[in-house]
Structure 1
Amino acid sequence: MCSAWRFCLSVYDDLSPRGISGSSITCRCGTVLASAWGMPRTSRAMSSATLSLGLVAIPVGIHATRRREGRISYHLVHAKDGSRVKRQYVCEEEGVPVESDELARAYEGEEGEVVMSKEEAQAALPKATGRIDLIEFIPAETTDPVYFDNAYYLSPGKGGDRAYHLLAETLRDGGSVGVGTQLARGKSYLVAVRASQLGLVMHTLHHDEEVHREQQVPHGEPGRMSASEREMARSLVVQLGKKAFDPSKFEDEADQSLRKVIAEHEDKEGAHAAAGNGHARKKKSAKDGQVVDLLQALRASLEGAPKKRATRSRATRSRSPGRRRAARRGRAGRARPYAARSARSSSTRPRTRGRAR
């Protein structure tokens, strides 16, 4: 670590609360500070809300739990030249493109489709309140994971630290989960708020009508199981048992396989960058080559211009047998004067350079 590490640490401390990733701050010696000291990167809140239970209101920030960086992403391109493609809406009836301002929404009604404009549909949706209303508290073990959808970390907002941690401690000690609703982005969400090791986590839940009943799934017949089979099953579970779930032990095999194929393609194409569009790189290289070829072509054209003009003039003069014979006689007569002029010009240039000195 270089002597500037204290300054780097102070920079990290100043920038981290603003949501700037520690992994992007690198010391002058090349050491990435966040990985060197294991500093957690600060997550910026996606949005803010007020956690409301009775007369208590706790300001909170809502943070995503899923990381998008580090994952392989792609976009659709034209396989022929690697150019990106764009999506276009086409009318099935007329077969013509439809612009965005001509689009409407068709909802399924009991007697068919009901067409509404975007503004009319948005006016019918509930308005966002900015609140997470906790209505009831239930034992944590009674919440069925089948209903869980997305998860979000909650952080205390300005002035809400004490109330935030008081609620987290109460839920943690009592093993309870708060259930309520949130109106946001034109939807009514069913949510559950639980305590984690450090704070609070909010889960969006599926509504009851969105979940299939387990009774709708065929489970077959259990049949007769012997005591030895049961004992072997228990022994296997005990043998493979762990104290806690550690997701870092499991690797994404599909992601690794895809990265391997991408690396092989990059090696074949002669690419040096670890990420980017292969077609775009090839396209850029071809463009650079065209620039070099153009310069060479211009230079060659300038050097060969007099010869080409002479060739064109001879070709222009030789149009008939009589003119060809006259041209040959003329060239024979002009050969010596041209040589004399060349000699005079070559003998004149050294004297000019001598006078310049």
Structure 2
Amino acid sequence: MAARAIWKGHLSVGELSCGVALYSAATTSERISFHIVNRKTGNRVRREYVDEQTGKPVEREDQVKGYETSRNNYIILEPEEIASAVPEGDKTLSVAAFVPCSEVDTAYFDKPYFLVPSDDVAENAFALIRDGMRKQNVAALARAVLFRRVRSVLIQPHDGGFLANTLHFDYEVVSASDAFADMPELKITGEMLDLARHIIDTKRGKFDPSTFDDRYDAALAELVRAKAEGREIEKPKREAEKKVVDLMQALRESAAAADKAKKKAKPAAPASKRKAS
């Protein structure tokens, strides 16, 4: 890979181990980004930490982290104290268990990474683990110290290598039962369910990320180009608000249109022969 590995270590499965390298699988570097500028001078503005009470700037060497125990009362943590509390990594991505891919809850996914062999020596063991997992249709749950934190990682075969997702901790993920607690229990049946099937059938397609359209970023890029070229900035056209649809009426109209199309496509029956007199 042309990019630089952000982590190198070993993937360990019991007694089997191989060298691996971790690469970012997603980036936001292509997005439009802005600087904060002084409107009057055109110069960039820099951020400065100031004391909340005195309003005076605080020098970098006097800036420390503090945990608030009560209003305006903090436990001060020195940099060396925080550093000593961070677990030391042994550069090992240790597999704790293999789980069926169907059991993976994507709500826990944090950030995606690509995992590849770190050198030629690791390729055979890497391929053995990858192909074995693909054959069994399982994902690996592993743990490692990544970016100064102990993290759980879900590893799945992906093309010629692995896709590794760091996982949120359980306390970080909002409970689905809490999120949906106020939703009424409805059972959709009959014609309404037929309507749902019809809507899905008419919108079937394939997952193609290349068709994803970042309209906001594209609009910002066009705005920058227009201002740089001195062109008039055209206001984007707003889509008209859609009317509230009567689901049952939509179902009847859809069914009627389908029947009409079916009758039109059906070939006419041959005329029956008259009996000889």
TM (norm. structure 2) is 0.77
* 1:160 matched residue in structure 2: 122
2:172 aligned residue (210, 222, 230): 210
1:127 aligns to 2:85 (yes or no): no
Is the CA contact (8 Å cut-off) linking 1:122 and 1:186 kept in structure 2?
Answer: no
Contact 1:52 1:133 in 2 (8 A): yes
Distance 1:110 1:263, change over 3 A: closer
Pairwise CA distance, 1:184? 2.4
Deviations 1:213-240 (A, max 9, x none): 1111135114353411101101211221
Identity %: 26
Change (3 A) 1:43 1:186: closer
Is residue 2:71 matched to residue 1:71? no
Kindly indicate whether the alpha-carbon contact (under 8 Å) linking 1:128 and 1:185 is maintained by their aligned counterparts in 2: no
CA distance in 2, matches of 1:225, 1:78: 57
- Structure 2 counterpart of 1:132, one-letter code: L
Question: What letter is aligned with 1:123?
Answer: S
Say which SS state the counterpart of residue 230 (structure 2) adopts: helix
Q: Which among 93, 100, 121 is matched to residue 139 of structure 1?
A: 100
Note the residue ranges of structure 1 that are not aligned, 5 or more in a row: 1-18, 20-41, 270-357
* 2:149 alignment counterpart: 187
Secondary structure of 1:265's counterpart equals helix
Give CA-to-partner distance per residue, 1:198-227, whole Å, 9 cap, x none: 211110000111111111113511435341
Provide the secondary structure at the position in 2 that maps to 1:162: helix
Which of 172, 180, 196 is equivalent to 1:233? 196
CA distance in structure 1 between the aligned counterparts of 2:51 and 2:192, rounded to whole angstroms: 62
For residues 77-88 of structure 1, the aligned pairs below 5 Å read 77-88=37-48
Map of 1:31-110 to 2, 5 A cutoff? 42-109=2-69
Greater per-residue strand proportion: 2
CA distance in 2, matches of 1:225, 1:176: 34
Q: Distance in 2 between matches of 1:69 and 1:213?
A: 32
Counterpart residue number, 2:230: 268
Q: Take 1:53 and 1:247, find their aligned partners in 2: how far apart are those partners? A: 33
Inter-partner Cα distance in structure 1 for 2:70 and 2:172? 19
What is the count of residue pairs matched by the alignment?
A: 229
Aligned to 1:251: 213
Give the aligned residue type for 1:151.
Answer: P
CA distance, structure 2, for counterparts of residue 191 and residue 109 of structure 1: 32
Alignment of 1:269-348 (within 5 A): none
1:220 aligns with 2:220: no
Determine if contact 1:89/1:98 at 8 Å carries over to the other structure: yes
Go from structure 1 to structure 2 and tell me whether the alpha carbon gap of 1:168 and 1:109 turns closer, same or farther (over 3 Å shift). Answer: farther
Check 1:73–1:92 CA distance in 2 against 1; reply closer, same or farther (3 A cut): same
Structure with greater helix share of residues = 1
Cα distance per residue 1:291-318 (max 9 Å; x no partner)? xxxxxxxxxxxxxxxxxxxxxxxxxxxx
Of stretches 157-166 and 102-111 in structure 1, the one that deviates more from structure 2 is 102-111
Larger Rg belongs to: 1
Q: Is 2:191 the partner of 1:199?
A: no
Cα-Cα RMSD: 2.1
Structure 1 residue 133 displacement after superposition: 1.1
| C-alpha deviation, 1:128, in angstroms | 2.2
Query: How far off is 1:70 after superposition?
Result: 3.0
Cα deviation code 1:230-277 (max 9, x no counterpart) = 0110121122112x41011121111111111111111118xxxxxxxx
Identify if the C-alpha distance between structure 1 residues 195 and 109 changes in structure 2 by more than 3 Å, giving closer, same or farther: farther
| In structure 1, distance between residues paired with 2:51 and 2:24 | 37
Report what 2:273 is aligned to. Answer: none
Partner of 1:62: helix, strand, or coil?
Answer: strand
* Conservation of the 8 A alpha-carbon contact between 1:151 and 1:202: yes
Report how far residue 185 of structure 1 moved. 2.5
Native 8 Å contact 1:48 1:60 kept in 2: yes
